[in-house]
Amino acid sequence: MSKHLVFNSKIGSQKPNSLLNSDADCPFCDRDNLTDLLETEGSIIWLKNKYPTLEDTYQTVIIETDECHSELSEYNKDHLYRVISFGLKHWKNLIHSKRYESVLLFKNHGPYSGGSLRHPHMQIVGLEKMNYLKSMSDEHFNGIQIEHKNGIEYNISKYPRMGFFEFNVIMENHDNIESFADNIQISAHYILNHFNKNCNSYNLFFYELGEKIAVKIMPRFSTSPLFVGYSIPQVSNRIEDVVKKIKTIYF
Ligand SMILES: [Zn+2]
């Protein structure tokens, strides 16, 4: 099984980029011209990605809201739960369809996240020939606990995949989506408002961990050269301080 996804550069060069070019019309605001819709729920739309740059994959996008400059960290609770439930539902359906070796659910926000559009969205990508779980390790989710309540563990990684800080929310049973979503939102809000004044980007990455579901919330900066060149992850020596700060602000 290949370890590389093939990126189609021709399709990639046609993609609009509202982060680099602020004048570009936002395609996700132009709702009347969206095509290949899969499902809608209120202002949330799931559709096929118009620029499927990855070979041997099924690429889809969830447009989270009709407000271009809104952000997951600012949603009211009702909308937050709706977006996370909608994303998990369709991700799980693709997993259970057995059409893919594995299925990714992730979100990019901000210029360092790898995303190209400002409008809040997530992506669900079915991988036909690759199982991402093979590069995962349980220790990536072990951490210093912020809270463990109602079957939801919330921590900061002691042994991150990449570093320096990785927030984890782990749902032990699948019926407590509200607490799961609350902790995702707290992490995103903390990263964008209280973490590091230069941090304007983060990713969410969702994982199947046996019977559990986990999400990593990763603040993004330019990537460490030690990781790029040598795959050496780093961990901050200030994790405990951040755990204390989050408890003080949000709990
Ligand atoms: Zn927009």
pLDDT value of residue 25:
81
Which residues partner with 92 through β-bridges? none
Distance between CA atoms of residues 190 and 103, nearest Å: 28
Q: What is the mean pLDDT of the chain?
A: 94
Confidence band, pLDDT 50/70/90 cuts, at residue 120: very high
Distance 44 CA to ligand 1 centre (A): 13
pLDDT of 20 reads: 59
Cα 242 to middle of ligand 1, angstroms: 33
22: pLDDT confidence band, cut at 50, 70 and 90? low
Quick one: what percent of the chain has pLDDT higher than 90?
88
The rounded Å distance from CA 139 to ligand 1 centre is 38
* Neighbour tally for 149: CB within 10 Å: 11
Query: How far is residue 13's CA from residue 152's CA, in Å, rounded to a whole number?
Result: 41
By the 8 A CB rule, do 171 and 212 touch? yes
Q: Using the predicted structure, report yes or no on whether residue 23 has a pLDDT greater than 70.
A: no
CATH, range 9-133: 3.30.428.10
Q: Where are the domain boundaries for CATH 3.30.428.10 in the chain?
A: 9-133, 137-250
Higher pLDDT, 20 or 248: 248
**Band of pLDDT at residue 221, cut at 50, 70 and 90:** very high
Mean per-residue pLDDT, 121-137? 95
- For residue 21, what pLDDT is reported? 56
202 closest CA partner among 193, 213, 191, 194: 191
Does 24 have pLDDT greater than 70?
Answer: no
Whether pLDDT at 19 is above 70 = no
CA of 34 from ligand 1 middle (Å) equals 12
- Interval between CA 185 and ligand 1 midpoint (Å): 21
Give residue 117's Cα distance to chain centre.
Answer: 14
Predicted pLDDT of residue 226 = 97
The average pLDDT across 99-112 equals 97
Confidence of residue 142 (pLDDT cuts 50, 70, 90): very high
Architecture of domain 137-250: 2-Layer Sandwich (3.30)
What pLDDT score was predicted for residue 54?
A: 95
Amino acid (1-letter code) at residue 100: Y
pLDDT, tens digit (0-9, with 9 covering 90-100), for 151-194? 999 999 999 999 999 999 999 988 899 999 999 999 999 999 99
CA dihedral 1, 54, 56, 34 (to 10 degrees): 150
Q: Output the CA 117–ligand 1 centroid distance in Å.
A: 8
Q: Which band of pLDDT confidence, cut at 50, 70 and 90, is reported for residue 116? A: confident
How high is the pLDDT of residue 130?
A: 96
